[in-house]
Amino acid sequence: MMLGKTTTLSIRTPEGVHFEIPIASPFSRCLALAVDVAIVIALTILLIQVINLFGVMFSEVPVLGKVFSDFSTGAMIVLQFTVSIGYGMSTEWLWSGRTLGKRIMRLRVIDERGLSLSLKQVIIRNLFRFLDMLPSTFYLLGGISCALTKRCQRLGDIAAGTLVVREVDSTPPVLEEFVRAEKNSFATLPHLEARLRQRTSPEEARLVLDAVTRRNDLTPSARLELFSRLADHFRSIAEFPEEITIGLSDEQYVRNVAATLFHRASV
């Protein structure tokens, strides 16, 4: 059982780069859930009050009052379902696997292979929430599943192939020691650097740092392949203009990415 302790997700890329991600414990997930449930209840109460307010307004008109009275009962049921499911879906999709509760507890949902979430996974794990909540919304099934599974997965996680992990601040090595770029050309465009930081997940940042710091341990072919894949990925999420990337090798491009991501932490 995982009560009170945390295991890690070990990931090794085809090129031989290895890194670990700590998995959230049931206790930390319960605290995040408590925050999210409180938010959902508050939103539901607020929206119900809005519906009731409209009901009072329409009650002055007999015909509209009766129609709205019949409509409001069904609307409240639909509203509770929409808020309870829509809250988790929207926040996890827009905030890369984080709800407000998870952000406060520094937790995040990821694909169980260490990848970013897909929309399909977000939908599945949140639809399964109704099963995890049984019986009577106490999350008994989900709690038992988290306690008994090796990776602390509720039923929705198992169905969607997801994990909840802890986001840990790691102090990166001094960049001058590991990222020996003659010049980080990306630094001339701070707004694009900021966009790159915003779009890069903690797991991607750790992979970049691991690749840069261990590049000399790789075989030449694996080194070329790894930096080629990383460079292609980061070119797709941060469109730096050609005039500052022309002539950069894939490895130099990734070293610039590392300098951008970790510069503030090392100066």
Question: Average pLDDT of 4-27?
Answer: 70
Predicted confidence band at 99 (pLDDT cuts at 50, 70, 90)? Answer: very high
User: Residue 263: pLDDT above 80?
Assistant: no
pLDDT at 77: 80
Residue, of 131 and 75, whose pLDDT is higher: 131
SS3 of 134, please? coil
Q: Are strands 18-22 and 107-111 parallel, antiparallel or unpaired?
A: unpaired
DSSP 23: B
Predicted pLDDT of residue 74: 75
56-66: b or e for each residue (b if 16 or more CB lie within 10 Å)?
eebeeeeeeee
The pLDDT, as a whole number, for residue 171 is: 46
Q: Which is higher by pLDDT, 210 or 156?
A: 156
Q: Residue 107 corresponds to which amino acid?
A: L
Contact yes or no for 93/18 (Cβ under 8 A): no
Q: How far is CA 145 from the centre of its chain?
A: 21
The pLDDT score that the predictor gives to residue 265 is: 42
Q: What is the pLDDT, as a whole number, of residue 69?
A: 67
Note the pLDDT of residue 87: 95
The answer to whether 122 touches 131, Cβ cutoff 8 Å, is: no
The answer to whether residues 47 and 40 touch, using CB atoms and an 8 Å cutoff, is no
Residue 246 confidence (pLDDT): 85
Q: What is the pTM of this model?
A: 0.63
Residue 267 has pLDDT above 70, yes or no: no
Alpha carbons 267 and 263: distance in angstroms, whole number:
6
Average pLDDT estimate for 243-257: 88
The residue ranges of every structural domain in the chain are: 8-166, 175-266
* Average pLDDT over every residue of 220-225: 88
pLDDT at position 197 is 82
pLDDT at 4 > cutoff 60: no
Mean pLDDT across 217-224: 86
- Tokens at 71, concatenated: 């409509």
CA distances from 141 to 29, 30, 100, 134, 244 (A): 14, 13, 23, 6, 54
Identify the residue with better confidence: 54 or 123.
123
Helix boundaries (H) for the chain: 26-58, 62-94, 100-105, 119-127, 129-133, 140-148, 155-160, 175-178, 190-199, 202-213, 220-237, 242-245, 250-266
Residue 73 makes CB contacts below 8 A (sequence gap 6+) with none
Q: Which position has the higher pLDDT, 173 or 184? A: 184
Residue 87 contacts residue 36 (beta carbons within 8 Å)? yes
